[in-house]
Chain A
Amino acid sequence: MTESIDHDLKVNHTKDESSRQNFVQGMRSYVLNDLSGHMKTVWDRRAEPAFKKARGRKPADGPEVHKTIKSETLFKFYSAMRCNTQEMVWRSVMPAIEREGRDLSRRAQVLSQAGDKAEGTVTTDSNFQVPRYTSELDVHMMPGNYHEERIDYDVTQGAVFDNGLSVFSFGLLGDRMEDITDSVSTFYQARYTESQPKKILDLGCTLGHSTLPWKARYPDAEVHGVDVGGPCVRYAHARAQSYGVTAHFHQMDAEHTDFEDESFDIVYSCMFLHEVPLKNIKGVFKEAHRLLKPGGVMLHYELPPNSMTSPYDGFYLDWDSYYNKEPFYKAFRDADAKAEIEAAGFEKDSFFEHVAPSRNLYGQDALMAAAQDDGAKNDSRVGRFGDGVMWYFFGAHK
């Protein structure tokens, strides 16, 4: 259901539509916790022992686990049901957005023009070319993706993502669904106390739910978000205005922005890199390096790399790359982020990585304690969307 949406772009779902959403949330919880647990049991008790008996060793990596478990009936049901719940997430919210399409667009325009609560801005470009790796795909099976447009001042796909994410996350993303960046930015501020950013950029910002928490941490900073989706940046701006948070949104490609050299103190992204091909991620790192002031920091919230996870967890997290229309996910998780970041020009050995406990789940004290701890933890809860999720992020200094 969509209770986490409490801003002025909220749409009215009928009772039956809310019931469908309620069912999808229950089904996702069942698939990601129960069925996933059953599949792990099959792996531990049958598939892995059979592998060890045949090969005289344990599987070396995620692909070996994948290849072995693929023939198990539970893998097939887990996978088929996960795909179906994923599609049902979006389908459960689309009828209300479809009904209110034009009114939603008008409301977004009014919010964007109103300056009584916030003074943010939004810019879109009618000639903007969405990168083909995005335009040719319905990323994570979301029909229309982030960018498709049908009407004037179209915010539809922003609304589909916002409402769908609310169903998808079944409360795990906390108030306003900002828990990831809320937790990561709080951790960052507590650990890097010397950092006093004046200008912050969020790459692939979608709804702005990864942009606005930075303004809460650093109220005097100028906060910007970019996204290739016109409907997303319009929606993000209207959402920010509704919440009374001043932020600036731009339809731009994170790899080729229009900002000046050395104009930002923090360049951040949240759940963005894994949706980008590796060669373009390298371009994003180079662009971030160009945009950062000397001493500035690049930060990315992401899924943990395969080098940090067990073979089974590697298989489990890479599942989306094969079956959830997120084909670039595995190459990103296989990559050596530290080497790629240094190749983009960042200061040698300035790479860092951390795991921030979710403030929503574990509270402020756990988050502050973790901020004083060193290094990322190898924890099977990292990156999983299930009970007890933890947030992994990495970065480097210029």
Chain B
Amino acid sequence: MPDDSANAESTPLRYSVKGKRMRFFDAQGIDELVAICMGMAQEMWVIKERQAALEFVAAEKGVLLPDDIEGHKFSTEQRTALDAEKQNFIDRIFFTLREEAESLTAEPEEEPSAPSMP
């Protein structure tokens, strides 16, 4: 998930929560869909913040006109970088599905149990 985990300074971390996952909905998959929707909402907010920053800076500097964005063609290098970011973007949104798989390989030996359900 991290964008540049190959960096020599980096220390890979475990992102999945250990142990049993919480479920609230009777129908299969709804809990995952809630997680996915929230991930989508979060990423949309990231875009909105970046877009807002871009528009403020462009307006302040007077460097961008509407047609500049509409008519822009990505270079090969720009496209490659964006494609890599897109894969990270998708992985973040669908993280819950990866976690489902990872939970099968990272089970704790003996997770303390919650109190008995009322």
Residues of A whose CB lies within 8 Å of any CB of B are 14-16, 19-20, 22-24, 26-27, 63-64, 66-67, 75-77, 79-81, 83-85, 87-88, 90-91, 94-95, 97-103, 132-133, 136-138, 141-144, 148, 150-151, 154, 156, 160, 277, 321-323, 325, 327-328, 330-331
Contacts and interface: CB of A to CB of B under 8 A. Distances in A.
B24 A87 contact: no
Given A27-B38, A81-B34, A15 B50 contact: yes
Contacts of B31: 80
Contacts of A154: 11
A34 B25 CA distance: 21
Interface of B: 1-5, 7-19, 22, 24-25, 31, 34-35, 38-39, 41-43, 45-46, 49-50, 53, 95, 108-115, 117-118
Contact of B19 (A83, A91, A138): A138
Contacts of B46: 16, 19-20, 23
A151 B12 CA distance: 10
A322 B24 CA distance: 12
Contacts of B50: 15-16, 19
Contact of B25 (A22, A80, A90): A80
Nearest to A79: B24
Contacts of B24: 75-77, 79-80
B6 to A, nearest CB: 10
Contacts of B15: 90-91, 94, 143
A177 to B, nearest CB: 22
Given A322-B117, A330-B115, A331-B115, A19 B49 contact: yes
A98 B13 contact: yes
Contact of A137 (B18, B34, B43, B118): B18
A87 B17 contact: yes
Given A80-B34, A136-B111, A24 B17 contact: no
Contacts of A137: 18-19, 108, 111-112
